[in-house]
């Protein structure tokens, strides 16, 4: 039997709560977010943020995103990940087990750089013009 009330109001772990509130997990833990919360309670915090969350939101305008969605160009697998400082803007992201041949060939005069270890299972690619 499917429990419909649980499906309508799932319990989120702290990482999912942090994603929903767009804050780092460490901030969630530091401010007393429990290890599991009901989605309705998270929505309540989102709608009526406590002082620490309101402050964080006021401070974070215009900064790099706390979470980025990585989506595989080849198979559409996706995940939310915390961006690392050294991540550029990727032209393509794909699972690390796909072949480079699954990507469109770079245009003439475009140099493709690869970044390993992006998220849990991705490689990132940036296409840049040499004459830039
Ligand atoms: Zn993939």
pLDDT tens profile 27-57: 999 999 999 999 999 999 999 999 999 998 8
pTM: 0.67
Q: What is the span of the domain harbouring residue 84?
A: 68-129
Q: How far is the CA of 46 from the centre of ligand 1 (A)?
A: 32
- Report the length, in residues, of the chain: 132
Same domain membership, residue 122 and residue 79: yes
Listed range (1-5, 31-35, 55-59, 109-113) with the worst mean pLDDT: 1-5
Q: How far is the CA of 99 from the centre of ligand 1 (A)?
A: 10
Same domain membership, residue 84 and residue 52: no
Q: How far is the CA of 70 from the centre of ligand 1 (A)?
A: 10
How many structural domains does the chain have?
A: 2
Q: How far is the CA of 20 from the centre of ligand 1 (A)?
A: 24
SS (H, E, C) the chain: CCCHHHHHCCEEEHHHHHHHHCCCHHHHHHCCCCCEEEHHHHHHHHHCCCHHHHHHHHHCCCCCCCCEEEECCCCCCEEEECCCCCCCCCCEEEECCCCHHHCCCCCCCEEEEEEEEECCCEEEEEEEECCC
Task: Please give the average per-residue pLDDT across 100-110, as a whole number.
Answer: 92
Task: Please give the average per-residue pLDDT across 107-123, as a whole number.
Answer: 93
Same domain membership, residue 91 and residue 42: no
- The answer to whether residue 3 scores a pLDDT higher than 80 is no
């Amino acid at each position: 039997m499917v429990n419909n009330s649980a499906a309508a109001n799932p319990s989120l772990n702290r990482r999912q709560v942090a994603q929903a509130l767009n804050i780092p997990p460490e901030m969630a833990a530091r401010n007393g977010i429990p290890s599991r919360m009901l989605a309705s309670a998270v929505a309540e915090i989102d709608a009526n943020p406590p002082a620490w969350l309101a402050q964080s939101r006021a401070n974070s305008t215009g900064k790099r995103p706390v979470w980025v969605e990585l989506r595989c160009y080849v198979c559409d697998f996706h995940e939310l990940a915390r961006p690392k400082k050294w991540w550029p803007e990727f032209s393509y992201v794909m699972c690390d087990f796909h072949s480079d041949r699954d990507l469109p060939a770079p245009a003439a005069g475009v140099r493709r750089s690869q970044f390993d270890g992006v998220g849990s299972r991705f490689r990132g690619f940036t296409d840049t013009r040499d004459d830039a």
